[in-house]
Amino acid sequence: MRKLFLLITLTISLTSFGQEVTNDLSKVFRINALNPGLEFEMPISNKSTIAINPGIGIHGSYMHLEYDYLVSGVTYYISPFLDLSYKKIYNRTKRLDIPVISTQ
């Protein structure tokens, strides 16, 4: 189990990208694991982006509680969702003006 966890952690860390040094906004594709979904973010201007995230939500509730120990009373729901979000980057000019200090 530890070897599997270590393998997954190394795979994720090797394939993930840190902070790249770019001055322009770019298209980003993400896979969300905790709330399963696929997110696509694209710039619509110099200071704003729009993100689209379709996915599936899973949750449970205690609708019908029973006193019988064989019946759990938990009802699970699988529900699709669509998240649309607008992101405005208000301090973009300040971030572009700051010089990048390299430690090499």
Average of pLDDT values for 59-76?
63
Is there a domain that residue 5 lies in? no
Total number of domains in the chain: 1
Average of pLDDT values for 26-51?
89
Is there a domain that residue 8 lies in? no
- Tokens of residue 88, six digits: 């405005």
The answer, yes or no, to whether residue 8 has pLDDT greater than 90, is: no
Is there a domain that residue 83 lies in? yes
Query: How many C-beta atoms surround the C-beta of residue 37 within 10 A?
Result: 19
Is there a domain that residue 42 lies in? yes
Is there a domain that residue 56 lies in? yes
- Tokens of residue 87, six digits: 């992101």
Tens of pLDDT, residue by residue over 85-103, are 999 988 777 766 666 565 6
Whether pTM > 0.95 for this model: the answer is: no
Is there a domain that residue 14 lies in? no
Domain that holds residue 89: 24-97
With H, G, I as helix, E, B as strand and everything else as coil, classify residue 74. coil
Is there a domain that residue 13 lies in? no
Tens of pLDDT, residue by residue over 11-23, are 776 555 555 556 6
Q: Is 6 left (phi over 0), alpha (psi -120 to 50) or beta?
A: alpha
Among residues 9, 61, 50, which one has the least CA distance to residue 27?
50
Is there a domain that residue 6 lies in? no
Task: Give the lowest-confidence range in 17-21, 30-34, 58-62.
Answer: 17-21
